[in-house]
Amino acid sequence: MTVKQISIFVENKIGNLAEVTKVLSDAGVSLHAISLADTKDFGVLRVIVDDSYLAATTLKEQGYIFSITKVLAVAINDEPGGLYRILTLLEESKINLEYLYDINTRKSDYAYLIFKVGNVEEAIEVLTKNKVRLLCQEDL
């Protein structure tokens, strides 16, 4: 019920972001979602890819520093209040949401968001109990 996110350390220098995307595309890795968080001197590039294993081995070979994190791909009803409902469910269970960003999938009935939560297992339990749809890696 989770998807794998790869977080890559990127120094704040012109061309560094382009370089990572080139490394991944040269290896034939395709990106489903991408988000960049940055500070004064460095950034963390978070990606969801079609082949995490290929992406990880490629990055490792190229000397990149990265980590793999389990995140949730949550289906949101594409209507007003869709996101609010889910955030309320998490809040009521006191589950901390660290960040979120959107993801494109071939499924068009819903909008999908990537959620990084404090307690993954608990979040899965709360959300599935409330009939919120979560995607697995294979669904992407």
Q: Are 102 and 113 in contact (CB under 8 A)?
A: yes
Residue type, 85: R
DSSP, res 118: S
Closer CB to other proteins, 43 or 82, in the complex: 43
Closer CB to other proteins, 15 or 80, in the complex: 15
Q: Say which residue the tokens 């990537």 belong to.
A: 114
Closer CB to other proteins, 47 or 75, in the complex: 47
Distance CA 22, CA 80 (A): 38
Smallest gap, in angstroms, from Cβ of residue 18 to other proteins? 14
Smallest gap, in angstroms, from Cβ of residue 58 to other proteins? 16
Smallest gap, in angstroms, from Cβ of residue 32 to other proteins? 17
Q: Say which residue the tokens 């993954």 belong to.
A: 120
CA 136 to each of CA 64, 71, 133: distance values in angstroms, whole numbers, following the listed order: 26, 10, 10
Q: Which residues bind other proteins (CB under 8 A)?
A: 5, 7, 9-11, 16, 37, 39, 41-42, 44, 46, 63-67, 69, 98, 116
Closer CB to other proteins, 114 or 134, in the complex: 114
